[in-house]
Amino acid sequence: MCLAIPARVKSIQGVEAEVEIGGVSRKASIMLTPEAKVGDYVLLHTGYAINVIDEEEAEETLKLFEEIAEAEAKETR
C-alpha cells in the first residue's frame, strides 16, 4: 500500500519545490506536476508531488490524519 499526504507549496525553483507538511518544510520534486503553483496543495509521495488537489480536500485529509494520530495516542496510554 502506498500513502500520499497533502503538502502546501511554499516556493518553486525549477522542478523542485519547498513544501510544508504540519509545520515542517522539506524539498519535493514537482517534475510530475508541472502545473503546481505556490499556494497549491499537492499529494506528496516519497518526495514527489504526484497530483495537485484542492484546499478543501487537502484539509479534510489532514484532519483525518490528525484524528488517527489522536486515536493512536489514546490507545497507547
Domain over 5-75 is classified CATH 3.40.250.10: no
Side-chain-side CA neighbours of residue 65 (13 Å): 13
Q: What is the pTM of this model?
A: 0.87
Q: Which residues contact 11 (CB under 8 A, 6 or more apart)?
A: 17, 18, 38
Choose the weakest-confidence range: 15-19, 27-31, 54-58, 68-72: 68-72
Report the C-alpha gap between 65 and 37 in whole angstroms.
24
Q: Which run of H or E residues covers position 29?
A: strand 24-29
pLDDT tens for residues 34-59?
999 999 999 999 999 999 999 999 99
Domain boundaries, the chain: 5-75
- Contact in structure between 40 and 71 (CB atoms under 8 Å): no
Indicate if the pLDDT at residue 18 is higher than 80: yes
Indicate if the pLDDT at residue 77 is higher than 90: no
Judged by DSSP in three states, 28 sits in strand
